[in-house]
Structure 1
Amino acid sequence: MVARTKTKLADAATRDAGAPTRGPSRLQADLAARILRLLKEQGAGPGHHLVELDLCQHFGVSRTPVRGALKLLAEQGAVEARANRGFVLLEPVVAAPEADPVNLQEEDDQRLAVAIAQARNAGQLAADCTQQEIMRLFDAKLPQVLRVLRKLSTLGLVERKAGNGWTFLPSIDSARAQAESYAFRHALEPALLIQPTFTLDKEWLADSRAKHLAFRKRRWRDVLAIEFYEMNSDFHEGLARCSGNRYMLAAVQQQIQLRRFLNYNWEYGVARVVESIDEHLEILDALEAGRNEHAAALMKHHLTTSAHHGVMNPDHAKPK
């Protein structure tokens, strides 16, 4: 049983970036491995009761990933769900898989941030809300909710009201607004690359290329939407800085801010992630070769393709 569990957990942790997104998340697989290691260290025997709250406190995560990890272990035959008792261990753990080097709290916080973005985009979370409402809606504890809201505040997505209330700041919230955003960017961003003041920052280019290549090798999971968008934002803002035009830079920064929540809720599949990275790399290659006109044409193609994949469903509910 343990060998079978170890194999399945290893498989879950090593799917490549092009694999389907079905199945356990990396956080669930990693947490399941850590639970097995904990049970082994405790010398837990058959019938040992796994208490959700205790596991949440021990690993510093919310109930959602703990429940997912326990369900995964149940599917693999390590534990069993019993009426009114939750999950119990079926037999002693004699060997446990190594856990991936993932920060469980950070991964769980990213999961909550993505869930908040999804709720805002779907109109399920009002622009003005309290910490308690977010706790109830997402089954999250106050410390985690505060961590995530503070992070979103530093990104300019939400601001604190008097007391414990929060206000989500304006963002793209309709198909029309998104179409207008792409039309504006289509006129603006290719023009950045052919400004007479454009000066390529080669150190930034090398760093951006390395980040894109490293990200392309990672196995996609939903929480990576945040990291992907921030890398994407740095690419577009970096080119705007190279333009040497402060007004163009300010316009790009505003668009990045307005698009953030929409893109945290990534709905366009892993294939589009890889395509977007490759398109970015092509633009960087053209700029490094001094072919700015060609880079501008590639940027037009990139934005056209992104608009084709990314425009919201017109029937999508607006955030209230």
Structure 2
Amino acid sequence: MSVSHPIAAKIIALIQQERMPVGTHLGAQKLADRLQVSRSPVNEALKAMLESGIVTRAENRGYFLAVDLSDSALDAELMAQLSGQDVLEQVYFDIADDLLRGDLPLQCTESLLRSRYKLTGAQLQILLARIANEGWAARTPGYGWAFSSMITTPDSLLQSYRLRLALEPAALLEPGFSISQATIDRCRAAEMHLLEGGIETDTADQLHDRGVRFHESLIEASGNPFFIETIQRVNKVRRLLSYRSMRNRVRYLEHCEQHLEILALLERGENEQASNALRRHLQSTLKNLGNIRTLLSARNAQEADQA
């Protein structure tokens, strides 16, 4: 068996912790909730586990555990591969860094990527599948890939946040808005985890997924599929733009406090006040985008010099 995905190791650890027997149904949303990430990386991990034979998939039923993953039964080779998950995670961010700096062309071959980042063919395919699923790369004829130029421009970054500023507060005022206590409790627990040390210890990917899950949970509660689909599409592509700001983690203390305020207002049914609080939260985020805008402007200037 072989599997290379940053979330797969966490899913396997959870399976071991819960002592799940062969045949257990592995629901993507349930796993996402337990791991405090969005469904997208969980689905990608399950696909990687399917290719490795760890899980099976039944049409219209989902994924099921196919092998015994108890400590005594777990394949030593698989464990060795799982211990190297940080390699692919680091390369993911290296590619994003290189794109944002202009060090990687927006169109390149798989051979170039494999050589530049010292990946095996299988590792590269898993990495590119993740990036394509997030919406910032697409395959070109042959063995080439094209990265989106839209999300490496300053205006696109600001426009994506202005779109969220227009839609997200409005979603809390939808007539069909209904958020469960379980959702509020899950979101609050995620914020408390950060306040209790997670701000310093979580990876940039975990911080991003926590934020995405918070905001998508509120949008999903609106019951409006148009709101949900739009925000999910924006969230897929904004990872590349937003994660760089995570290097300054001081602001996450303020973010957590703002998120907790919004949850408390929703818990009391004060949706209008919660909508206003969410608007202030997004406006404060917009003010902190100067560094990323400067970085993206630098790339544009570099490309103009090379033209």
Alignment TM-score > 0.5, same fold: yes
Give yes or no for the alignment of 1:227 onto 2:181: no
The aligned residue for residue 30 of structure 1 is none
Q: Which of 152, 155, 160 lines up with 2:134 in the alignment?
A: 155
Percent identity for Structure 1 against Structure 2: 25
Instruction: Identify if the C-alpha distance between structure 1 residues 178 and 208 changes in structure 2 by more than 3 Å, giving closer, same or farther.
Output: same
CA RMSD of aligned residues (A): 2.8
Specify the code of the residue in structure 2 equivalent to 1:196.
Answer: P
Larger Rg: 1
Greater helix proportion: 2
1:163, distance to aligned residue in structure 2 (A):
3.6
Letter in 2 for 1:218: G
Cα distance change on mapping 1:299 and 1:279 into 2, 3 Å:
same
1:301: how far off? 1.2
Q: Helix, strand or coil: the match of 2:264?
A: helix
What per-residue deviation string (whole Å, max 9, x for no partner) do you get for residues 161-206 of structure 1? 3443223246522222222222222222111111222111332222
Structure 1 counterpart of 2:281:
302
Deviations 1:191-235 (A, max 9, x none): 1111222111332222222223224422636x8122211221121
TM-score by length of 2: 0.63
- Paired residues, number: 222
Q: Deviations over 1:39-81 (max 9, x none)?
A: xxxxxxxxxxxxxxxxxx99968xxxxxxxxxxxxxxxxxxxx
1:262 CA displacement: 0.9
The letter for the 2-side match of 1:166 is W
The answer on whether the counterparts of 1:114 and 1:226 sit within 8 Å (CA) in structure 2 is no
CA positional deviation for 1:282: 1.7
Q: Distance between the aligned counterparts of 1:296 and 1:107, measured in 2?
A: 38
Matches within 5 A, 1:81-100: none
AA of the residue aligned to 1:308: K
Gaps of 5+ in 1: 1-56, 62-102
Match of 1:278 in 2: 257
Decide whether aligned partners of structure 1 residues 179 and 134 sit closer, same or farther in structure 2, where only a CA change above 3 A counts.
Answer: same
- 1:137–1:265 distance in 2 versus 1, CA, 3 Å: farther
Give me the whole-angstrom Cα distance separating, in 1, the residues matched to 2:162 and 2:237.
14
Aligned to 2:243: 264
Q: Deviations over 1:244-265 (max 9, x none)?
A: 2222222212221231211233
Q: Which of 293, 297, 306 is the aligned partner of 1:315?
A: 297
- Compute the TM-score of the two structures, normalised by the length of structure 1: 0.61
Q: Does 1:145 align with 2:124?
A: yes
User: Structure 2 vs 1, CA of residues 159 and 201 (structure 1 numbering), >3 Å: closer, same or farther?
Assistant: farther
Query: Counterpart of 1:197 in 2: which secondary structure?
Result: coil
Which residue does 1:40 correspond to in 2? none
Please, which runs of 5 or more residues in structure 2 have no aligned partner?
1-76
Paired with 1:190 and 1:219, the residues of 2 have a C-alpha distance of 25
CA contact (8 A) 2:208 2:243 kept: yes
SS at 1:265 equivalent: helix
Deviation per residue, 1:79-132 (Å, 9 max, x gap): xxxxxxxxxxxxxxxxxxxxxxxx542222111111111112222222322222
CA distance in 1, matches of 2:231, 2:154: 19
1:121 equivalent to 2:103? Answer: no
Distance in 2 (CA, whole Å) between partners of 1:315 and 1:147 is 30
